[in-house]
Amino acid sequence: MSKADRPDQPNAAARFNEEAATYTVRGSADEGGAPDLDAGVAAIRNVLKTLPSRPGVYRMQDARGDVLYVGKAKTLKNRVNSYTQVARLPKRLQRMVSQTRTMTIVTTRTEAEALLLEAQLIKRFRPPYNVLLRDDKSFPFILLRDDHPFPQVRKHRGARRAKGQYFGPFASAGSVTSTLNALQKLFLLRSCSDSFFANRTRPCLLYQIRRCSAPCVGRIGEADYAELVEDAKAFLAGKSTGVQARLGKSMAEAAEKQDFELAAVYRDRLRALTYVQGSQTVHAEGLGDGDIFALASHSGQMCIQAFFIRGGQNWGHRSFFPAHTADVPEDEVLTDFLMQFYEDVPPPRRILLDRALPEAALVAEALSARAERKVEIDQPQRGARKKLIDQARRNAEEALERRLAESTTQGKLLRELADVFELPEPPNRIEVYDNSHIMGTNATGAMIVAGPEGFRKNAYRKFNIKSDITPGDDFGMMREVLERRFARLEKEDPDRKEGEWPDLLLIDGGKGQLSAVMEILAEAGVSDVPVVGVAKGPDRNAGRETFHFPNGREMTFPPNAPLLFFLQRLRDEAHRFAIGTHRAKRAKSLTTSSLDEVPGIGPNRKRALLMHFGTARAVKGAALDDLQRAPGISKAMALQIYDYFHPRG
């Protein structure tokens, strides 16, 4: 269990950067950007001339200053010197040295501090030669606030700034939702916002279905509600036996007083507690708070399976597939993974692994510094904990097998796609574009990306249409999206070395959209990116799509063709993302008005104007005299508002 009684503080790695006596040096060789092993070794030797024999972190950078690799060392001079002994380096590191032109060195007080700072910098720069945690989205927590007389319980992601106690991490939003549902059934805690709470005059539906105790309308006192909160904390801490005993006692007392309705409430809560106890335990008795990790490797790919145990309860599991693991020892992959994983997630008191790590003591020291309490790393050899490790290893192997099977199928589809669409080779990056709007309002563009590993959701992009476009002008919207996209590519990756340029563009539309896109690309000077238009079939039936090519060729597939299903999934994903982006923008626009743009109009004056005139449109059309009569609006402010909406030529 992870608790916090205060908002987030700067993490340990960030503090080291401020507190440690940093020593930063740069060494460079020639200015050439092409890979050159001799030039890379020369750059490293320049750094060695002034390098101290202290712990620290080093960054290797190419000619443009982009970070290639981040490493840590107990003795910087010895570690960096090893890169000059090229014959002993694996091919991967030889390629890295050949691209290295500068280095940045930061010293730390201890090797543990260097390990923490290394993880922070890897997460920040995401270097191509480091092992990377692909799935780095934040984990959900349960927040039990304590800044209100009747604390709210809710799901939470992101920085932990709100005052309260945080319980987690949970493996998925589904795990949090099921636990929150159990909390509501068991302890009747409110989940509503403070504003909703403050404006209630009668209980809401959650009270009627026995999921809330309705503190908003006084159906429960502050002291009794505080008891429910303490029971919820005990439950989340894994101390559900005491909660169960109290519920049983309360049920018996209610039955003895012949208050059978109240006794039935306690009975239902006991049933819910028993169900949760049965569904969340995974034979983790005695473990308390702990994370379990096991690694599986096959065909050059690795999977790390994580189980999250808090208070002896299973809070879910997740499979991770680290990137850039080719030719990297498994122990090094797992070490790097742990440090990056706990960059954002509070470490538990105990971490169980399926293998002994050479740097286990160092990792434990670093994580203990981050958690500001002792963190143990262990490799169980027998008993219940060994069974948990075995279960995690089986899950890792099965998840990797599924991943390999999916990638094999994906690779076959991409090869078939290259043959059918006459591409030079199977595409590594497919970009699919779509637009969404309602009669031209809240217009947005969307780009999704797919490749051999499936959808790359961290590469998705949203485009707010900024130019003045005729409502419903899909061609104009697509023009703006593609112009912005390729202008950025030309600026950030002109030499096409970063793998950000698409190997195939899929456009949702027929001949007209395809012709417009080809014209836009020609104006941008892009002539070597294949483009295909996907036009919906008659009556917009899925399965009868027509694919249009720039040379005028058209193609359809048999209704049950696997490649057609693959292309439909790409098109549908782009449509889903575009619709979601548009809806989010439209929902935001509902809370804004033209009054937000008027200089000097803050929330209070805006509220006064809307209360007086009813709508922003009425304010816009009001006469100067009418504006002056609005409460809280002076003559000068009324004139300013009037002039804003009625500019003088």
**C-alpha closest to that of 354 among 336, 377, 320, 321:** 377
Query: What does pTM read for this prediction?
Result: 0.67
Burial classification of residue 28, based on how many CB atoms lie within 10 Å of its CB (0-12 exposed, 13-18 middle, 19 or more buried)? middle
Single-letter residue type at 350: R
Question: Could you report the per-residue pLDDT of 379-391, keeping only the tens digit for each?
Answer: 998 888 898 899 8
Q: How confident is the model at residue 15 (pLDDT cuts 50, 70, 90)?
A: very low
Q: Same structural domain for residues 485 and 566?
A: yes
Looking at residue 36, what is its pLDDT? Answer: 86
Looking at residue 470, what is its pLDDT? Answer: 63
Beta bridge pairs of residue 305: 294, 319
Residue 98: inside a domain, yes or no?
yes
HEC string for 259-318: CHHHHHHHHHHHHHHHHHHHHHCCCCCCCCCEEEEEEEEECCEEEEEEEEEECCEEEEEE
State the residue for tokens 């070395």. Answer: 497
Q: Same structural domain for residues 537 and 606?
A: no
Of 142-151, 352-361, 440-449, give the range with the top mean pLDDT.
352-361
Contact 334, 342 (CB under 8 A): no
**3-state class (DSSP) for residue 87:** helix
Residue 160: inside a domain, yes or no?
no
The CA distances from residue 569 to 542, 576, 580, in Å, are 11, 10, 16
Question: Could you report the per-residue pLDDT of 48-72, keeping only the tens digit for each?
Answer: 988 888 999 999 999 888 899 999 9
CA distance 373 to 377: 13
Q: Same structural domain for residues 560 and 442?
A: yes
Single-letter residue type at 589: S
Does position 19 have pLDDT exceeding 60, yes or no? no
Q: Which of 74, 107, 140 is the last residue of a domain?
A: 107
Residues in the chain: 649
Q: Same structural domain for residues 446 and 557?
A: yes
Domain count, the chain: 3
Residue 350: inside a domain, yes or no?
no
Domain residue limits at 454: 430-578
262 vs 168, more confident: 168
**3-state class (DSSP) for residue 74:** coil
The CA distances from residue 527 to 427, 503, 517, in Å, are 17, 12, 11
Q: How confident is the model at residue 602 (pLDDT cuts 50, 70, 90)?
A: confident
Mean pLDDT of 260-283: 62
635: domain CATH number is 1.10.150.20
Peptide bond into 169 cis (omega under 30): yes
CA distance 430 to 421: 13
Tokens of 586: 């439209």
**3-state class (DSSP) for residue 198:** helix
Q: Same structural domain for residues 566 and 485?
A: yes
Burial classification of residue 320, based on how many CB atoms lie within 10 Å of its CB (0-12 exposed, 13-18 middle, 19 or more buried)? buried
Tokens of 118: 């290394």
Q: Same structural domain for residues 434 and 516?
A: yes
Looking at residue 200, what is its pLDDT? Answer: 86
Q: Same structural domain for residues 447 and 561?
A: yes
Number of alpha helices (DSSP H) and beta strands (DSSP E) in the chain: 21, 20
Mean pLDDT of 590-602: 68
Q: Same structural domain for residues 599 and 574?
A: no
What letter would DSSP give residue 542? T
**3-state class (DSSP) for residue 157:** coil
Does position 611 have pLDDT exceeding 90, yes or no? no
87: domain CATH number is 3.40.1440.10
Contact 361, 341 (CB under 8 A): no
Rg (CA), the chain: 30
Looking at residue 4, what is its pLDDT? Answer: 40
Q: Same structural domain for residues 561 and 611?
A: no
Does position 17 have pLDDT exceeding 50, yes or no? no
Residue 619, φ and ψ in degrees, nearest 5: -65, -45
Beta bridge pairs of residue 102: 28, 61
CA distance 619 to 472: 28
Residue 444: inside a domain, yes or no?
yes
DSSP 626-647: HHHTSTT--HHHHHHHHHHHS-
Residue 200: inside a domain, yes or no?
no
Q: Same structural domain for residues 441 and 523?
A: yes
Mean pLDDT of 473-489: 82
Contact 84, 45 (CB under 8 A): yes
Contact 462, 481 (CB under 8 A): no
Question: Could you report the per-residue pLDDT of 500-519, keeping only the tens digit for each?
Answer: 889 999 988 888 888 888 88
CA distance 520 to 481: 10
Question: Could you report the per-residue pLDDT of 164-198, keeping only the tens digit for each?
Answer: 888 888 877 777 887 788 778 778 899 888 888 98
Q: Which of 55, 79, 107 is the last residue of a domain?
A: 107
Tokens of 301: 């790919």
Question: Could you report the per-residue pLDDT of 278-329, keeping only the tens digit for each?
Answer: 444 445 556 778 899 999 998 788 999 999 888 777 777 888 999 888 889 9
Helices 330-341 and 111-125: angle between axes, nearest 10 degrees: 80
What letter would DSSP give residue 172? S
Does position 604 have pLDDT exceeding 90, yes or no? no
Question: Could you report the per-residue pLDDT of 97-129, keeping only the tens digit for each?
Answer: 999 999 999 999 999 999 999 999 998 999 999
Q: Same structural domain for residues 571 and 608?
A: no
The CA distances from residue 485 to 72, 498, 508, 522, 549, in Å, are 36, 15, 17, 14, 21
Those residues with Cβ within 8 angstroms of residue 42's Cβ, 6 or more apart along the chain or in another chain? 29, 30
Looking at residue 479, what is its pLDDT? Answer: 82
Residue 40: inside a domain, yes or no?
yes
CA distance 152 to 164: 10
Residue 527: inside a domain, yes or no?
yes
Question: Could you report the per-residue pLDDT of 218-255, keeping only the tens digit for each?
Answer: 999 999 899 888 888 887 776 666 676 777 777 787 78
Single-letter residue type at 449: V
**C-alpha closest to that of 606 among 420, 615, 368:** 615
Of 199-208, 268-277, 437-446, 488-497, give the range with the top mean pLDDT.
199-208
**3-state class (DSSP) for residue 516:** helix
DSSP 572-584: HHHHHHHHHHHHH
Residue 184: inside a domain, yes or no?
no
Looking at residue 350, what is its pLDDT? Answer: 93
* Proportion of the chain above pLDDT 70, given as a percent: 84
Looking at residue 588, what is its pLDDT? Answer: 58
Question: Could you report the per-residue pLDDT of 541-578, keeping only the tens digit for each?
Answer: 556 788 999 888 888 888 788 888 889 889 889 888 88
535: domain CATH number is 3.30.420.340
Looking at residue 648, what is its pLDDT? Answer: 65
H-only helix segments in 421-498: 474-492
Q: Same structural domain for residues 617 and 498?
A: no
Contacts 24+ apart (CB under 8 A), 89-96: 90/327, 91/327, 92/129, 92/326, 92/327, 92/328, 93/129, 94/37, 95/35, 95/129, 96/40, 96/60, 96/68, 96/69, 96/129
* Side-chain-facing half-sphere of 247: CA atoms under 13 Å: 23
Q: Which of 87, 107, 127 is the last residue of a domain?
A: 107
